[in-house]
Amino acid sequence: MNKELSNEKFIRFFRALGNEERIQILKLLRESKELCAQEVEKNFYLEQSTTSHHLNTLRRAGIVNIRKSGRNIFYSLNLENLKANWLEFERFFNN
C-alpha cells in the first residue's frame, strides 16, 4: 500500500474519532443500531448543521454507513470497516 495514502487514511480515521461529540454519536449508534440525523440531533441537542458535519466526517472516514429512505438518511456503525482500519493501523506499525 502507498505510504502517503495510508497516512491520509489514518489521519482521516483518527481525526474523525478525535472529537467527544462524535464519540458520543458512535456510542448512541452502537446502542440504537440505526438512527436518522434528526434522532441524533435530538439526543444531543445539537444544531442541524453541527450534526450533519459530525455525521459526514464519520461517513467520510468509513466509520458509519448510510441508508437513504425517502427524504431521510439513516446512519449505522460500519463495524467491519472500523475493525479493518484498526487492524491495518496495527500492521502499519508492526512492519
Domain ranges of the chain: 3-94
13 — pLDDT class (breaks 50, 70, 90): confident
pLDDT number for residue 3: 54
Residues 6 or more apart whose CB falls under 8 angstroms from that of 14 comprise none
pLDDT number for residue 12: 87
pLDDT digits (tens, 9 = 90+) for 39-78: 988 888 778 899 999 999 999 999 999 999 999 999 999 9
The predicted model scores a pTM of: 0.83
22 — pLDDT class (breaks 50, 70, 90): very high
The CATH number given to 3-94 is 1.10.10.10
Taking the C-alpha atoms of residue 14 and residue 10, their distance in angstroms, rounded to an integer, is 6
